[in-house]
Structure formats: structure tokens, C-alpha cells
Structure 1
Amino acid sequence: MRATRAFASTARRAWNSRRIPSPQVHERGAMAEARGNLLEIDGSFGEGGGQILRTALTLAVALGRPFRMRRIRAGRPTPGLRPQHLLAVRAAAALCNATVEGDRIGSQDLLFAPQCRPTGGDYTFDVGATEAGGSAGAVSLVFQTLFLPLSLVGAPSRLTLVGGTHVPWSPPFHYLAHVYLPAVARLGFAADLALERWGWYPKGGGIVHAHIRPRQHVALDTPSGEGAEPTLDWTRRGRIAHIWGISAASNLPAHIIQRQKAQALETLRKAGLRAEIDEVEAPAVGFGTVVFLVAEYERGLGGFTAYGALRKPAERVAEEAARELVRSHETKAAVDEHLADQLLLPAVLTGAAVAFTTPRATDHLRTNAWTIEQFLGTRVDIEPHPTGALVRVRGAGVA
């Protein structure tokens, strides 16, 4: 039986260390060599939020490359590490026994130095434990930080994540399960997710279980033409296959769920789109409401989310999600603008050539591309396109 690795005990020595120790004598090759090559990163570059940190953590763990990041979230109203960022740092450290400096709330300067290759196993991480009074920090962002490195260890792993499962400014659980994971499965990455309890802002308390399987090499799409290299080509999405979604709420009157569903269906109908939407009464410790919609195409995918708020009518929540779907659909792009930046890391870790279209090149997309280039020297090409933007990635073949 695998021992559960709660972060408070697993990596205490690494987190409390205030210096980078000398490489262990028994460690050889690329891992030991990489630790001596400290990468300096400006955390305020581009979008300047948590994305640049999470991407750096994923690549540091996967590659064994140490980095120092300064000016973390420097331009934000609350600069520095917030609970979900701090948990991502500490969780990533637990995977590779990293030496860490600056891992505290509000810190804008972080040193992260892996000491070994990532280790699979059973892990439990609670965002609320990083701050007095708890937190609804997004567990989805922590999952995405850990998922790819754990997929590369050659053995299955299990994660239990506690915190916010459906909170603003992050992909909700359902986006991970029904958009992100189906997309990266085309590149051989796979996990099973289970939602035990929903977690809304500000109370959090949601619980997600993940079973991460080792990455499998897959037969990718092959473009026409003699000698063409294998590629995943999502540049022409084809016909729409299915639109579906959920209207969900916790500890609120049932009519809110019903009104959200009715308005979402009506907004989509006016745009000439048919959908199936399920009503969900979500178990949670707090209050919350959401409309989440998925558009599935022959060669593409998109997810669209809107949350309720105090004095925000149910109809407005539904219209926000439905109109976002309609706007994306009308561009004819293959993937939504959020999936675009989330595809870069899994693409670059494989040896495949990947191309896709998206409604626009967001700051998140460009910042993610820049961070990847700092670690691997791999260029992500982002070009104007009739749909919005065309993105091309040539994988580095790390996985």
C-alpha cells in the first residue's frame, strides 16, 4: 500500500532549507547537470500572473531544472504568492524533494531547485492549509501544475486536492474533466477525475480525486504529403458534433438552476445552436452557482463558464456562458482561448508537431510560450489567422 504524502510532512526539510545543497554523489547525468544551471525568470513578464509560475514549476520538476523567479505577480493588487500559488510550489517540491526559498504568502522572490526526479505515489494537498482561516484557491491550477510531471514517472499516481473546485479566474473541475483532459489525451496524457464535494468562493472545501496514469505514446494525425512528420492538426475544426452543459447550484433555491438552464438554451437557440443541459444540485459547504457549457467539434473543443454572484440574476449567468460559446463558435477556431494556452505544455513535452487555431492570442498564451522558450529553447509560433490566431508547436521530445 502506498503511503499518503501530505505536504506538511513530506517535504518539510526541503521547504525549510535556506540554501541549495550540493548535488548528491549518487545522482548522475542530466538531473545533476541541470541543477547547476540556474534559470533566472522575471515573474512580471507578459501577463505577469500565476501562469508563469505554474509553467515554470511544471518544467522545473519535469526537467530537473532549477530556477529563481523575481517580481512574482508584481503588478497585481495583492502581489506575490497567494494560497493557490504557494500550494503549487510546495506540492511541486514534494514531487522532487526540491529545495525552496521564499515559499510564503506575499513573497515575490522564489528559488526552486529539484533534488531528484519526480516520484509517483499518493499525495494529498489542501489549499486552505496554506493560509490562516482557509482559502478557496483553485485546485484545478494545482492539478495542472502536477499532472504532467506525474504522467512522466512511469507509474500511476493518485492526488487528493482540497480547496476551490469552481472559482473565478481558473478552470472549473468540469473544464478539466471534459475539455482539458480529452484534449491532452490526444497526446497520450491521461487521468481520471472524481468530484467528491464542490468548493465555491470564498469557503472552498471542495474535494477532487485524481488517478494519473503514465503517459502512453500515441499514433498522432499525419498530414498528407510524402515524408511529412506526425502532427496533431486542429487547424480546421470541422462540423459541430454536440453542445452540452450543466446548470448547477449549491444550497440555493432550485428555481435558480432551472432559470439558468432555460436562459442558456434560449440564448443558444437564437444563435441557431441546440444543446442539452443537465440540472445539478451540487453538494458543498458554501453557496454558489455556475453554468458550464461544452462545444465538441470533429477536430476541436471548447468550454465556457459563468458564475453567479450576489444580486446577479440567474439569467445573466446563463447569458454570459452561452454568449461566450456563441462568440467562439462564430470564429470557426478549433479550440477556445483558454485551452490554447493550456495545450502548450503537453505539446512541447512530446515529440509531436502540434498546430491549432484559437479565437485570439491571449496574454496567457504568449506568456506561456515565452516561459517554455526560457526552459527549452523551443519556439512557439503564434500567427494571425482568419479565425483569430494560428499556433504551432514543435515538441521537444521530453516525454
Structure 2
Amino acid sequence: MGEARGTQVEIEVTGIAHGGISVGRLDGRVVFVSDAIPGETVVAEVTDDSKKSFWRADTVRVLQASPHRRDHVWAEASVDRAPEDRAGGAEFGHIDSAHQRELKRQVITDSLQRMAGIDRDVVVEALPGAEDGTGWRTRVRLHVSESGVVGPYAARSHRVIPVESLPLAAAEAQVIAPLSEQFTGADHIDLVVPSVGNPFVLQGSADRKERPKAQRIVERVGDREFRLDVRGFWQVHRDAAQTLTTAVQDAVDENLFDPRAANLDLYGGVGLLAAAVGDRFGNHVRITTVESDPHATDHAAENLAEWVGANAVTGRVEHYLRGVLKDAGAAERDRLTRATVVLDPPRSGAGKQVVDQLAELSPQQLVYVACDPVALSRDLALFAGKGYDLTGLRAFDLFPNTHHVEAVATLVRR
């Protein structure tokens, strides 16, 4: 072990793995290769040979290129650069946009089959914007090196790479990005481009003991406005909030929806998806949104004020559900079994505890918004074991030129 690291090997790349890494084999050993495309033959430098079962490697030269290869949309991340000097965050930027979506489709369908035993195809739908997948990020985090240089991290590293461009960023963020400036007393810089008002450049420090003073911004989705903290969570693609609003509205089976039930919006943030449900079914909808960030919950209460039956609760989802299971009387239990639950968990997924709790509450249907196909598939397998069937699935390319993909799944109680 350790003898292969740093050596260059020729590899035929045959597939794509979760995480945006291509897969090949060398003398029977699996090799995960960055910056390659299935179907290519590349020369790759081994970066990790610590495991017996697989190695990791970076493409340094393409011998036989895929017809889907293009010049990288971000010059500072191109295969022409030494791997350690490539900017991270655009790992699919060398692949034409349509084929990026095809690879993401393959990852979703493979994850569903392997982890949940579900054979189901899906189309990864493009969002509005540039055909090459640039100019969509309304939130960009840049890091600051010890010497004050600003830039993204190198791929799979905490090394700051100086860059002259940010092609995935919205034009407004590109204009204000302080790429040539030196910073002291900060370890990162956030660029925030709200849909209403001026963009922001925000300094941040990991050593900061107190949360920075809250500053409110407004995001507009259709005719509706949402208030939130300038540093709070919001969908990054400028069209993502509208896309997910419409997708969640479409995913709810109206024949199973009861506006008077104890409907839930879990991991609800500032109330975007709760509002989507309310806008579809009317201001008499009863829905509780649950979020662990108290600042977001405060904003959710304001953003959902027009719905008399809306309620915003601060707390971890598993703690909230535990309390409901413990304290709900017969009438509330009945409202829960008639409920629709929307959940948008973090990348790690909802997990067994939350799935078990939801299954015990036994709602009519769930709409699961997922940013990780493996976590989604794992949770779908758990839900299937609790009597819930996958009845609808859509996928969206919310993160062009990266491996990330968003999915919206509908599950119905048998």
C-alpha cells in the first residue's frame, strides 16, 4: 500500500458513481477517476491507494475523448491545469449540459434500484438559464487563505485557489466578487444576490463567537415575497424556488389532500414549501412548519401569516415528532392520519428515526424533496417497509455543472 500513489496509469472509464466521480478498472481493481467521462480513455494520477478494494485518481490527460466532452466552462477548473490547482465546485463543467443530466439520471435510477429495489426511470429536467449551465448561483462562498487570498477551495481540498472568474455565479455576484482583494480577519466571503434589492458581500469568521447581526432580505417567488436573514438558507439557483414550489404543488395528490388535517412541512426553513401547499389549496389550509433554526422560524411565522391555520415551530424534526406521538389525543391522531407531509431534509436524508416516527403517525401521503439520490433511495426503502409506495418522481437540474441533482418524490400509504 502506498506504492502506487503519484504514479500515472491508463484507464478506460466505464461508468459514473454517486458524487460525480467516474469509474474504471485497472487489473481488476476499481478506480474512481475525477474529471473523466464514461467512455473515455484517460491517463490518471493515483492520489489514494490506501484501500485494497479501490483507488482514487485524477485525470491528467485524455487519450480518447467522449463526444460529450467540451472545453471546461471554468478555465481555472480545466483538466489542462495540475489537479491540485483546479478550482472545485464545477466537477461536471467539462461535460455538455444534456449529457450531465443523463449522467445524473443514471445515478438516480441506479441508486433507486440498488438501495430500494425500485426500477423506475426519471427525466432530469433543465431549469431556465444559459444552455451551458453558467450564471445561476445567487449564493457563492469564497474562502480566504492565511495570506489573505480569496478564492474557492481546490477540489476535495481546503486549499484556496486564486481565480479570475466565477462563471457559475449570477452576473450580479460576478461584478461584486472581490477576487483580487486581500482580506484579514475573515476566513470566508459570502456573495448573496437576492431577487429583490442589491447584492451583498459578507465577511465571515469561523472564530466568531456570536452570530452576526441579522439583516433581512426579500426573495420573490411568483407574486409572493419571503423575508429571511441575509445569511439564512435559500435555494441557490435563481429559478429553484419557483421550480420546487410548482413541483411540490403538482406532487400533492389532491384526492388525498385534506386542508383540515394536521398537515406538516418538515425542515421547513422560512416556509417556502408550506406556502406552496397553501397557495394551491387555499388560505383555510392547516399546516405546521418545523425548522431547527429559530431565525428561520421567526421569518416563517411572518411569511405564512395569511394562513389562519399555519403555525411555525422551532425544533429538531425528530424531537417535534416525538412530542406529537407522545401527546396527541385521538382527535389529533385522526387529523394526522389524514395529513399530507412535505419534508425537505438535509443532504443526509430523513433517516430511520424520522421515517419510523412518520410511519407511526401514518399520514395519507408524503412529498419528499431530496438533494441526494442515495439518501433518498435509502429512505424510500425504509418507507416501503412501513407501507408507503412511490407513486411519483421528478428530478431537476438545480445545480448545473456539478454532480448535484434535486428530486421530488410522492409516497402514498397503502
Taking structure 2 as the reference length, what is the TM-score of the superposition?
A: 0.28
Larger C-alpha radius of gyration, 1 or 2?
2
Taking structure 1 as the reference length, what is the TM-score of the superposition?
A: 0.29
